[in-house]
Structure 1
Amino acid sequence: MEQKKGTAGKLSYKDIAYDRIKDAILFNRFRIGAIYSQESLCRELGISKTPLREALLELQTDGYVTFCRGRGVLIQPVSFEKAHDILEARMTMEPICAQLAAQRANEEDRQAMDSLLTSLQEGLPSEDGQRLYRIDHSFHRAVIQAAHNEIFFRFLDVVLDHYLRFEVKSVYNNSIDARKVYAEHRKVYEAIAEKDEKKAYKAMETHLKNSFARTLPEYWKK
């Protein structure tokens, strides 16, 4: 979702609250399926009541939370059907974006991807799963950005966020799997840098298939 900013380009208190709550949901600080009182959210995130309420209303519209009368706010689970739809959307569209990136990526795009891969490789020994997942998803967004198709980027930016809601975030805790993920990302980047469209498409498709098999086999059996 595109951020709405206040005067002078600054985020409003509501936007700050939205970002903090959403980040806590995506990276499991708040448990999926749990109910939290608005008072506890205010204390936990250091947010006052009015912007919190405004942010929660927007998060409800975006499918992240549900208000439970008299109980608090439910961190909305992702249904099996929606999870499969999200995986299907990624599998269909991200290889196309990688193919387009091989055609259209400029030097700035390539430098951004390469820099993220360097950060990912340097961070592997730490096994800091949350940090590595942030870099991982930044790399995917960089590939999509390099396709230079605004519609694809806007759609997949939302899809990637919702994917984080149910992804099993354990792969970077395993050094063998973590190195595999890095190698797969590197193949995607190299194909894009070589401007090999078919190779880029295949590299992204293979990476996604492997990724879903590693962490989400119950949702993706193809």
Structure 2
Amino acid sequence: MSNMLLMPRLILPSPAGGSLSDDVAVAVRDAIAAGELVEGTTYSVYQLAELLGVSRSPVREALLRLAEAGLVEIARNRGFRVVLPTAHDIEEIFEIRLALEPAACRRAAEHATDEHRDTLAGLVETMRGAAERGDAASFWPADRALHDALLRAAGNARAAAIIDQLRATTALLGPPTTATGRSLDEIHAEHATIVEAVLDGEGRTAEQAMRHHLESTALLLSRADRS
């Protein structure tokens, strides 16, 4: 049975140049991460459209995209259900990330523009400041933006979009620090090593540092999911 009471705080994000279906997808993804939409409950497309103040068409389009990403399951003629990632899902996600991100860091070190380098340096500094303050709310968006900036510095916007969606899936496991057992300072240090190598033009070092970061994160997330 659909349940409207579990969706009271669903809101569209501030417009950022994307389509309405993009905004709906972000709203649903954020609601899942916040526990407003819970696993095992079937939600109505009509209710979701009403809560967000949009027509059903962008809601359906957003849900189809989220279903392709494995975040929801479409219940024909009934609505949709939340699907939380399993240990196997995490393994698959990090296999893809390991195939894309380390090599991208090497290319970024070799081909990044001055603008790319300034962006990377600014983001890692934002992470450092947030870690020192214990400000997770500022830390994690900067973390996500840094990974995106590295891929774009490598010249691969499509890979950046793929990785962003994969990170959204693993984020449903809960706050990354809680899931992995690492502090914000430790996570910042891993990223700082990657960025330093990119800024120094050390492609091989950047590639190895990103591989180490991803392998460590995958192992810790898998352990947390099995505990």
Name the TM tier (shorter chain): 0.7 to 0.9
- Pick aligned residue for 1:122 from 118, 126, 129: 129
1:156-211 deviation digits (Å, cap 9, x = unpaired): 34433333344x42417999611000111111000000001121111111212232
1:24 shift after superposition: 2.8
Q: Which stretch of the first structure deviates more once superposed, 193-202 or 22-31?
A: 22-31
Q: Which residue of 2 aligns with 1:209?
A: 215
**Alpha-carbon separation, structure 2, partners of 1:201 and 1:99:** 5
| Match for residue 185 of structure 1 among 183, 191, 203 | 191
Q: Distance in 1 between matches of 2:41 and 2:117?
A: 41
Which residue in the other structure is 2:166 paired with? 159
Cα contact 1:127–1:172 (8 A) shared by 2: no
> Equivalent residue for 1:31?
38
Separation in 1 of the partners of 2:151 and 2:222?
22
> Residues of 1 paired with 2:25 and 2:103: CA distance?
31
User: Which has the larger displacement, 63-72 or 116-125?
Assistant: 63-72
Which one of 196, 208, 211 corresponds to residue 202 of structure 2? 196
Residues 25-74 of structure 1 deviation map (CA, whole Å, 9 limit, x = unaligned):
35554334443333553455444445333432443344332233575420
What is the match of residue 147 of structure 1? 154
Instruction: Tell me if structure 2 keeps the 8 A contact 1:95–1:205.
Output: yes
Q: Give 1:214 shift.
A: 3.5
Following superposition, the deviation at residue 11 of structure 1 comes to 4.5
Residue type matched to 2:190 in 1? E
Alignment: residue pair count: 211
Q: Structure 2 vs 1, CA of residues 178 and 142 (structure 1 numbering), >3 Å: closer, same or farther?
A: same
- Give the distance between the partners of 2:180 and 2:211, measured in 1 at CA: 22
> Which whole-Å CA distance do the structure 1 matches of 2:43 and 2:59 have between them?
13
1:4 maps to what in 2? none
TM-score normalised over the length of structure 2: 0.75
Relative to structure 1, the CA distance from residue 92 to residue 71 in structure 2 (aligned partners, 3 Å threshold; closer, same or farther) is same
Q: 1:81 to 1:174 in 2, by over 3 A?
A: closer
Identical aligned residues as a percent: 25
Q: 5+ unaligned residues in a row in structure 1: which ranges?
A: 1-8
Aligned CA distance change for structure 1 residues 196 and 17 (closer, same or farther; 3 Å): same
CA distance in 2, matches of 1:14, 1:152: 20
Following TM superposition, by how much is the alpha carbon of 1:106 offset from its aligned partner in structure 2, in angstroms?
A: 1.0
In the superposition, the TM-score normalised over structure 1's length comes to 0.76
For 1:10 and 1:186, locate their aligned partners in 2 and report how far apart those are by CA, in whole Å: 30
